[in-house]
Amino acid sequence: MTCVGGLVFVEHGVNAVEMLANLAAGIATANVSGRHPEVTKFMSSLKNITELSPGPDYYGNLINLRIQVPWDENFSDDELIMLPFLTLTFLAQHFPDSPLDMDQISSALYHVWQLASPSRSSLWSAIALYSDSLATHPSMTAADRAKAQDDMLWNLRTWPRDQVTWNISNAQRQDIVYNPFSDRAARVHNQCYLKVLPANERSQTRWNANPWELGDGGAGDVEFDGGAWLLPYWLARFAGLLSA
The distance from CA 191 to its chain's CA centroid, rounded to whole angstroms, is 20
Residues in Cβ contact with 183 at an 8 Å cutoff, skipping those fewer than 6 apart: 190, 191, 210
210-215 long-range contacts, CB within 8 A, separation 24+: 210/75, 210/183, 211/75, 211/119, 211/120, 211/121, 212/119, 212/179, 214/169, 214/170, 214/171, 214/176, 214/190, 215/167, 215/168, 215/169, 215/170, 215/171, 215/190
Residue 196: band (very low, low, confident or very high) from pLDDT cuts 50, 70, 90: very high
Residue 63 has pLDDT above 70, yes or no: yes
pLDDT digits (tens, 9 = 90+) for 100-151: 888 989 999 999 999 899 999 999 999 999 999 998 999 999 999 999 999 9
pLDDT, one tens digit per residue, over 153-192 is 999 999 988 888 888 888 788 888 888 887 777 777 778 8
Report pTM: 0.88
